Amino acid sequence: MLTSILIILIASALFGYRIISAVPALLHTPLMSGMNALSGITVIGALTVFISAPAEAAGWAAAALILATINVVGGFWVTERMLRMFKGKKSEGEVETPWQ
């Protein structure tokens, strides 16, 4: 199990690096808030530990679940709101004409 975990860790980091580097500065704020929502993925960790949690730790597991869900929903929703505001007139493929 540890091997597959390490493989997926490295693969995600490498592919992530390539794809994320190509996001233009124009969209860096939505990128960050979107990635922020992804860090709420720990919600599935909270779900997993919830079951095995001893009674005295159940409150912590519940808190983790709530906080992570706020992170996910809040993050995706602010990103949605921001991206809806981005409007352009140029059509697909049309590029900026630099002044000569």
52 binds another protein (CB under 8 A): yes
CB of 30 to another protein, least distance (A): 6
- Give, as ranges, the residues between 5 and 34 that touch another protein (CB under 8 A): 5, 8-13, 15-17, 19-34
CB of 13 to another protein, least distance (A): 5
- Give, as ranges, the residues between 61 and 100 that touch another protein (CB under 8 A): 61-90, 92, 96, 98-100
Residue written as token pair 């929502």? 37
Distance separating alpha carbons of residues 71 and 46, to the nearest angstrom: 13
3 binds another protein (CB under 8 A): no
Q: Are 75 and 43 in contact (CB under 8 A)?
A: no
Position 48, amino acid: T
CB of 2 to another protein, least distance (A): 7
Q: Could you say which DSSP state residue 88 is in? A: -
Surface-to-core class of residue 49, CB atoms within 10 Å of its CB (0-12 exposed, 13-18 middle, 19+ buried): middle
CB of 45 to another protein, least distance (A): 4
